[in-house]
Structure 1
Amino acid sequence: MEYKVFCPPDFNEDKYKKMPNVTLKEVTTDGVSPEGFYLTTHMPTYYKYNDNWIIPKSNSLNCVAVLENDTIVIKEIRNLVKGDKVVMGKSRDGQNGVLMYKEGFSKELYEDNGFSVETSFSEEYELLTDLMKREKENGGHIVWVLGPSVVFDHDTRVALVELCENGYVQALLGGNAIATHDLEGGYLGTALGQNIYTQENVPMGHYNHLDLLNAVRRAGSIKKFNDDGHVANGFIKSLTEHNIPIVLAGSIRDDGPLPEVYRNTEKALSAMQEQLDKATLVICLATMLHSVASANLASGYTIRENGDITPVYMYTIDVTENVTRKIAAARELMAVRSIITNVQDFVVNVQKSLIKKEDK
């Protein structure tokens, strides 16, 4: 497949030359923007400074644009520091030096395709696997955002491991539960006390995830627990052994939690942002809150080494249409693809398509 490459405006046209430079105001209090700031969008946006039109390396929703070293960077308001120069204005048509230019991508990238449970998703699977192959071959950064239900099934855990070991995972974002229950599967053969193969509850199984948490906390880290030989198999084990980043953002009440879980929300968001700023493809499975957060944080586009600007596709997979629609809305319907199915079938289908039996 060919990437959909962004076509920028012709800034030699008089109308662009006549547009003003951006107006800037300095931050006087850390974490507080001057009034009248420009609120960012996922759409490709140019900022005119010193009569040059600048597009940031990445963008994010509901942030501010800041001038740094003669270029524009996108910042969360909470990350502003005294002295930052923030872009002012509310228009996006160039009249305040800010030009949102969604027309640079083809119209089909933005269309609301109205997926439902009755939809055939064969084309979406084909597009996804083509994207994954392309990103693997070109040094892309595929970020997976997973909820715990993904690892409650033996075949799904096996499929995730094979995808990881074959270069289709560059980061995992999730919460305490995804890692806890996958490690529980590798340690005790259960997920939330349920046998991951037979799906049967085991005697006193409700203790299992807490026994796992206690054991990992005693070891001091997931890596140490794995290195000590306690984990027989699983996705987290594979990620750890391949040094693939794992970002676990805590919730208001996490059992344990695991030592690596971020319990400070701002630090969790910053760690997620670090991975999503590098993302060239994002795949979200069965976790509404982490997926919506990722949809807001992840850039709408990426700038390739050759200078091409290409969309960052976000795939969202859930059994509930309402969840996928929320995530699509958070992406402003740009380069978002939804599949309404159970995540176990989805992961196994992707694995079978990408990894042939002779490759195993």
Structure 2
Amino acid sequence: MTFTLPPYKQPDFTQPPLTDAPLARFVPVESAGVAPQNFHATSIYPEYFQLERGMWVMPEKSRMDCVVVRDGDTLHVVEPRRLAPGDLVCVGRREDGEDGIFVQTEPFGAVDGGAEKFAFRTRMTRESSFSIDYDELYSLLQYERDNGFILWVLGPAVVFDHDSREALARLVRQGYVQGLLAGNALATHDMEAAIHTTALGQGLYSKRSAPLGHYHHLDTLNEVRRAGSMPAAIESGLVRNGVMHAIHEKNIPYVLAGSIRDDGPMPEVMADCYAAQDAMRALVQQATTVIAMATQLHSIAVGNMTPSYTVTTHGVRPVFFYSVDMSEFVINKLANRGSLSARSILTNVQDFLVTTERGLRDWCREGPPPPPEE
């Protein structure tokens, strides 16, 4: 199974009803941070706006639930909180061309599926088989490592196990992690593991509680803050292994977003939630594949700011989004984004990481396996 990007199919604006569509309307903002009445809210899909007769323009960098601001012949997708008086905001809520707005819901072809109205196991559950999903993921990651930008969204559970922590660090060093979004807990417990070989006071391998183990993550935070930064803690030899060690070693960009729950936090954690959102979006805009796992709120937040497409030097291509979790709620929340690019795998994330890292090693060594006969 060799990965090939699906081709982008641009809408045909020379055919009705789009030939008869009016120009898109733009209304100036009157109050900072307040969009005009009847503003158009963006989706995850490519969207086109007719600025002049026959001139349909698509914003290159989009995200869901924002507004479209016109600057000459260029369109920008902007969070409403950023609006300034005088900004020209698109208004109109019909998305089939009637308001000069066309939302393209199948830019890369229809989602695969049978024609039968009734079938068993049409939704992902704990009973689903994911063999083909793993093979598709290996093929995709091989391609993206050299041709895209792989962004991981991670919760602390990925470093609570010895094998999964090692597997994730190897994935970083092998080039399969090109950006990281997480919270304070991931970095804290990863560095706790490096210093104390525990996570939340339990042995990474044995899962036995260490004496006074509940102090370990607090002591870790204190020691890293005393060092002044995570890079300083690594350079001093305080932290000698782990995910964040590999991230800094490979100079991978990351954002640690703060929350009300944080202890410490680590010096690099961004306490301003909107500054963190801006930094996260900057990485999301580079992403061509997103893998979100073991962090419900972070996964949903990143899912909401990730479009189903991106524009590269080679044209429009899909953004692939994988959600990996044991919770069907999280999986369904993201899978229901309605995107061709959404994939879900219901499993223990520690097992997922170990399986994925091992599978990629086999893939590189032996090549893709032939498809089974059915």
Q: Could you state the TM-score of these two structures normalised by the residue count of structure 2?
A: 0.91
Structure 1 residue ranges without an equivalent (≥5): none
User: Which of 234, 238, 242 in structure 2 is aligned with 1:230?
Assistant: 238
| Aligned pairs for 1:205-284 within 5 A | 205-284=213-292
User: Which of 33, 51, 57 in structure 2 is aligned with 1:31?
Assistant: 33
Q: Bigger shift: 344-353 or 96-105?
A: 96-105
Q: C-alpha distance in 1, partners of 2:235/2:122?
A: 46
Partner of 1:352: 358
What's the CA shift for 1:250?
Answer: 1.2
Q: Deviations over 1:63-99 (max 9, x none)?
A: 1111134211211111222332111111101111110
Partner of 2:129: 120
Question: Kindly tell me: are residues 333 and 264 of structure 1, through their superposed partners in 2, closer, same or farther at Cα, counting changes over 3 Å?
Answer: same
RMSD: 1.8
Question: Residue 147 of structure 1 contacts residue 287 of structure 1 at CA under 8 Å; is this kept in 2?
Answer: yes
Q: C-alpha distance in 2, partners of 1:318/1:131?
A: 20
Partner of 2:101: 98
Identity %: 42
Q: C-alpha distance in 2, partners of 1:136/1:72?
A: 30
Partner of 2:180: 172
User: Which of 162, 165, 170 in structure 2 is aligned with 1:162?
Assistant: 170
Question: Residue 111 of structure 2 contacts residue 340 of structure 2 at CA under 8 Å; is this kept in 1?
Answer: no
Partner of 1:199: 207
Question: Kindly tell me: are residues 295 and 321 of structure 1, through their superposed partners in 2, closer, same or farther at Cα, counting changes over 3 Å?
Answer: same
Q: Which residue type is aligned with residue 324 of structure 1?
A: I
Q: Which residue type is aligned with residue 310 of structure 1?
A: R
Partner of 1:56: 59
Partner of 2:341: 335
The alignment partner of 2:350 has SS state of helix
Question: Residue 110 of structure 1 contacts residue 334 of structure 1 at CA under 8 Å; is this kept in 2?
Answer: no
Question: Kindly tell me: are residues 300 and 345 of structure 1, through their superposed partners in 2, closer, same or farther at Cα, counting changes over 3 Å?
Answer: same
Q: C-alpha distance in 2, partners of 1:3/1:187?
A: 43
Question: Kindly tell me: are residues 113 and 163 of structure 1, through their superposed partners in 2, closer, same or farther at Cα, counting changes over 3 Å?
Answer: farther
Q: C-alpha distance in 2, partners of 1:190/1:9?
A: 54
Determine whether 1:75 maps to 2:78: yes
User: Which of 155, 159, 173 in structure 2 is aligned with 1:151?
Assistant: 159
The alignment partner of 2:111 has SS state of helix
Q: Which residue type is aligned with residue 17 of structure 1?
A: T
Q: C-alpha distance in 2, partners of 1:92/1:110?
A: 25
Partner of 2:369: none
Structure 2 residue ranges without an equivalent (≥5): 115-120, 366-374
The alignment partner of 1:209 has SS state of helix
What's the CA shift for 1:313?
Answer: 1.1
The alignment partner of 1:218 has SS state of helix
Q: C-alpha distance in 1, partners of 2:219/2:152?
A: 27
Question: Residue 59 of structure 1 contacts residue 300 of structure 1 at CA under 8 Å; is this kept in 2?
Answer: no
Q: C-alpha distance in 2, partners of 1:170/1:357?
A: 20
The alignment partner of 1:107 has SS state of coil
Question: Residue 255 of structure 2 contacts residue 276 of structure 2 at CA under 8 Å; is this kept in 1?
Answer: yes
What's the CA shift for 1:109?
Answer: 6.1
What's the CA shift for 1:14?
Answer: 4.7
Determine whether 1:189 maps to 2:197: yes
Partner of 2:321: 314
The alignment partner of 2:106 has SS state of helix
Q: C-alpha distance in 1, partners of 2:276/2:180?
A: 13
What's the CA shift for 1:358?
Answer: 8.8
Q: C-alpha distance in 1, partners of 2:61/2:81?
A: 18
Q: C-alpha distance in 2, partners of 1:70/1:110?
A: 39
Q: C-alpha distance in 2, partners of 1:11/1:223?
A: 53
What's the CA shift for 1:251?
Answer: 1.3
Q: C-alpha distance in 2, partners of 1:171/1:347?
A: 16
